[in-house]
Amino acid sequence: MKYVTKSSILLLFAMTMLLVACVSTEDKSGKTKPRIIISTDIGGTDPDDFQSMLHYLLYADQFQTEGLISSPYGEGRAADIIRMIDVYERDFPKLKGKADFPTPASLRNLVKQGATGFAPADGWSTATEGSNWIIRQAKKETEQPLWVLVWGGLEDLAQALHDAPEIQDKIRVYWIGGPNKKWSVHAYLYIAQHFPDLLMIEANSTYRGWFIEDNIPAELGNEAFYEFNIKHAGAIGQEFGRHYGGHLKMGDTPSLAYLMDGDPDQPEASSWGGSFTPLDFSPYRIYEAHTSERDTVPAYAVVEWTFTDPGWQQDSGTESIWMNIDRQRIDGFYQGKGTYNIRFVPKRADHWAYEIHCTAQQLDGTTGAFISTVPWPGQRKEGDLEANKWWSDRTESETYLDQYQGAKTVAQWRAAYLADWAKRLQWLR
């Protein structure tokens, strides 16, 4: 009689679990599912990532999910992703009979902790579980590209590119920039300066078409859609209502929608996630003194102030500088030899005023101002950064919603993508 060893049983169990967790690489029509990693600042000060994560989980059958990474912002951590998967698990018995949904256990195995703080001035720092995971998945032996969908900071992506620059040709990026660019400015600069051939969609304002209400039927309004379609849709619907009171925001969801509809290899074509135009350069404006309202920059441009005076050198290790702007603190950095720098990205067209706080007393309390305008990226100037395979918000006037260029390229599909989502929500009732 042949005996089965304990190790054999464990191996058999592990293989069985792997098969159970496995999700087909093709959908019912035979189309290959896109490979994705989501990098999210879920759990931070902006709760819309919770809504986007719940939406993603209800469409998880449409992707080859290869990573769910917690990126820095506020107090967000990987545990917040796990908590949303716990919600998904409660609805999984209803979902698994409808389509090829991944098991909750398989998704938990893909959750990785990324950077918990923003990058220093160099744009990169120390490898994280998240950045190492991006490298690992990007190096898989496959002809299919890996889409990295960034819902927050670029820190883990920048770190991965720094540590393994050869993955540049293996990945494609859809980044929800705008306000995120302000906090992730150092990582952004590093990527833009060193990886101009990275295929990047930089959506600074297009994504706003997902939640700006503009001449829409009442039943498609942000509050009405929640009341009639989401509110009573299982555990996911219940959890959705805990964020913004159920009012639809989901500013990161267009990155997913881009891969759900249309041809992702054609960024200029129409899709639920927007239509984009080639970005030949990224504006980078450097000033060696305070600015005033005579100084104009494009919205979403990187603006850098450099203040230098050898008399400010202290070399005490405590030198610091920060800017109070838009009721927020933006930390700068000390380069040495009496040179202080601050980088900022205006997230909209506006008049901006700021005040400097610095250990150099001659700078402390000084003020300045500037104006930002659309369309982005504006007129090219000396010092702007090359962008060879980058795409960004369309500039045509007919694509604007309010001041937000490109937003109509998402908003025009509102009835279509909400109707599709409503069908899936019905599965949970």
Q: Which residue has the tokens 């009639």?
A: 228
d(CA 95, CA 104) in angstroms, rounded, equals 11
d(CA 345, CA 361) in angstroms, rounded, equals 25
Under 8 Å between Cβ of 294 and 351: no
For the chain, the straight-line distance linking the first and the last C-alpha, in angstroms and rounded, comes to 52
42 SS3 class? coil
Q: Which two tokens stand for residue 229?
A: 């379609």
Q: Which of 268, 288, 293 is nearest to 390 (CA)?
A: 268
Instruction: For the chain, list the domains and their CATH numbers.
Output: 32-281+388-426 (3.90.245.10), 284-375 (2.60.40.10)
Under 8 Å between Cβ of 177 and 149: no
CA dihedral over 369, 373, 376, 382, signed as positive or negative: negative
CB atoms within 10 A of CB 310: 8
Q: Are strands 35-40 and 146-150 parallel, antiparallel or unpaired?
A: parallel
Q: How far is CA 181 from CA 190, 231, 334, 344, 376, in A?
A: 12, 33, 21, 9, 14
Under 8 Å between Cβ of 228 and 219: yes
294 contact partners, CB below 8 Å, separation of at least 6: none
74: left (phi > 0), else alpha (psi -120 to 50), else beta? left
309 contact partners, CB below 8 Å, separation of at least 6: 338, 360, 362
207: exposed, middle or buried (Cβ count in 10 Å: 0-12, 13-18, 19+): buried
CB atoms within 10 A of CB 235: 17
Residuewise pLDDT in 10s, the chain (429 residues): 444 455 554 444 444 444 444 557 877 667 899 999 999 999 876 789 999 999 999 999 999 999 999 987 666 689 999 999 999 999 999 999 999 999 999 999 999 999 999 999 999 999 999 999 999 999 999 999 999 999 999 999 999 999 999 999 999 999 999 999 999 999 999 999 999 999 999 999 999 999 998 888 888 999 999 999 999 999 999 999 999 999 999 999 999 999 999 999 999 999 999 999 999 999 999 999 999 999 999 999 999 999 999 888 777 778 999 999 999 999 999 999 999 999 999 999 999 999 999 999 999 999 999 999 999 999 999 999 999 999 999 999 999 999 999 999 999 999 999 999 999 999 999
CA dihedral over 207, 212, 214, 220, signed as positive or negative: positive
Under 8 Å between Cβ of 360 and 312: yes
